Amino acid sequence: MGKNKSKSTLGIILLGLIIAAAVYVNTSSTFEKDAPVITMENNGYWNLKKPLKLHIDDESGVKAYKVTFKSSKGESTLAHEQLIDPEKSLKLEVKPPRSAFALKDNEITISVEVRDASSWNFLKGNTVIKKFHILIDKRRPNTSIVSNSYGIKKGGSALVIFKVTDENLKDIYIETNTQKKFKPQAFYKEGYYISLMAWPITSESFEATIVAEDNADNIKKTHIPLYLKAKKYKVSNIKITDEFLSGKIADLAEEFQETQGVYDPIEQFKIINETVREKNEKLIHTLSSIVSQEQVDDFNINKMYPLKNAKVVASFGDHRNYLYKGEKVSESYHLGLDLASNAMASIKPQNGGKVVYADYNGLYGNMPMLDHGLGLYTIYGHCSSMNVHTDDETSAKMDIANTGKSGYAMGDHLHFGVLVQGVEVRPEEWMDTQWIKLNITDVINESKKIINKS
């Protein structure tokens, strides 16, 4: 009886040990069963120049890996390592074999074999092989300029039309030395593109380059030959009076959230002239940076003169320094043209467009904003009333609003602004029939003739 009891107890103990061992094997990281995870930073294309970036992750740690390159000429090892101290995360940069650039294959296979440090599978660990099929593209896109504006003036605009061909084209843009990228639209026939450009008044020089990138990261850059025309803009030293601070500034300070709790008049002025202005201009820049993806076949634009019998009361590009008791306290640029005629005069743009904004915008007051296509936008600030709403389509000479003094305006007038893809440009150019003909219409017509012959 005692022997049977001992055997029973021993059996229970053995069973418990077996269960405990099974639980340990199934729950311990030492015996983890998950295979290593292999990922590649690649979109399926390779130019055989930059190394491939591989990530290998495993809970128990990577014990060994091997990376092979397979083409029609055979197979070669790109990387192979046995790790003494297993690593849970590996980042590899794998270079192509030296002979790869002479390869004529359009597709190759990268095979990655990894074994982890787990004691699973009778201490052999978990092994995985992952294959990546990659298209080979060693050629840069082909780019050529069809036609462009002869020159560009500081603060002004220009147009370029060009051709790009590449089977694996990913992105096209115009890169400038001002850190601004202009996005072109498809033009007229397949493979051709059109874009306006702008030279900001705050930049002393201007360079523009067409950049074409394909999926394999091949890049082609083509310089746009533009004759640069220097232009000096007015610098104004404006004296701030106590009357101005206690009047217009005090009224605006009650309105803006940024000036709540601020009681010093000069500090109120600085916040309004700098912080609030920046916020208002950011909205304008964001809305006017949107470029349609639709193909452009033509771009007919009339000279812009939205206010009949108007007088220019403030010029574009005026660099304003604000002085209080002889000391400079703030500055700003006037990035539009101020026009005045009769009080509450009708604003009738010479070109139709889509209303992308029709609301109050801080210093700009009531401000309709129109999209005329090709990244060209116009704004109408300080209006007393607006006759359009956001998303409306307007026609040429339509009465969209009335002049006023809403926002940061001392008297009834229109702040007329023109923007090219988020950059303020000289309204005077777009109010000049001859400038439009030479820089826009003639460039488009000449390009069409060249394209039709090709």
Burial of 309 (0-12, 13-18, 19+ CB in 10 A): exposed
Query: What pLDDT score was predicted for residue 102?
Result: 83
Instruction: Give the CATH number of domain 142-231+444-453.
Output: 2.60.40.10
What is the full per-residue pLDDT of the chain (454 aa) written as tens digits? 555 656 566 565 555 555 544 444 454 456 688 999 999 998 999 999 989 999 999 999 999 999 999 999 889 999 999 999 999 999 999 999 888 778 889 999 999 999 999 988 767 889 999 999 999 999 999 999 999 999 999 999 999 999 999 999 999 999 999 999 999 999 999 999 999 999 999 999 999 999 999 999 999 999 999 999 999 999 999 999 999 999 999 999 999 999 999 999 999 999 999 999 999 999 999 999 999 999 999 999 999 999 999 999 999 999 999 999 999 999 999 999 999 999 999 999 999 999 999 999 999 999 999 999 999 999 999 999 999 999 999 999 999 999 999 999 999 999 999 999 999 999 999 999 999 999 999 999 999 999 999 8
- Helix or strand or coil: residue 363? helix
DSSP string covering 81-124, please? EEEEEEEEEEEEEEPPPGGGGG---SEEEEEEEEEE---TTTTT
How do the domains of the chain map onto residue ranges?
Answer: 31-136, 142-231+444-453, 235-421
Instruction: Give the span between the Cα atoms of 14 and 20, in whole angstroms.
Output: 10
pLDDT at residue number 180? 95
- In words, the CATH class of domain 235-421 is mainly beta
Q: Taking the C-alpha atoms of 77, 82, 83 and 89 in order, what is their torsion angle to the nearest 10 degrees?
A: 40
Do the first three CATH levels of 31-136 and 142-231+444-453 match, i.e. the same topology? yes
**Other CB atoms within 10 A of residue 289 CB:** 18
pLDDT at 28: 46
Please give the biggest Cα pair distance in the chain: 122
Evaluate whether 362 touches 280 at the Cβ level (below 8 Å): yes
Q: Which of 112, 117, 114, 113 is nearest to 59 (CA)?
A: 117
pLDDT of residue 98: 83
Q: Which two tokens stand for residue 200?
A: 């900001």
pLDDT score recorded for residue 24: 44
**φ, ψ at 388 (rounded to 5°):** -130, 165
Amino acid 20: pLDDT: 44
Burial of 1: CB neighbours in 10 Å, binned 0-12, 13-18, 19+ = exposed
55: which 2 tokens? Answer: 């990530």
How high is the pLDDT of residue 123?
Answer: 72
Yes or no: is domain 31-136 CATH 2.60.120.330? no
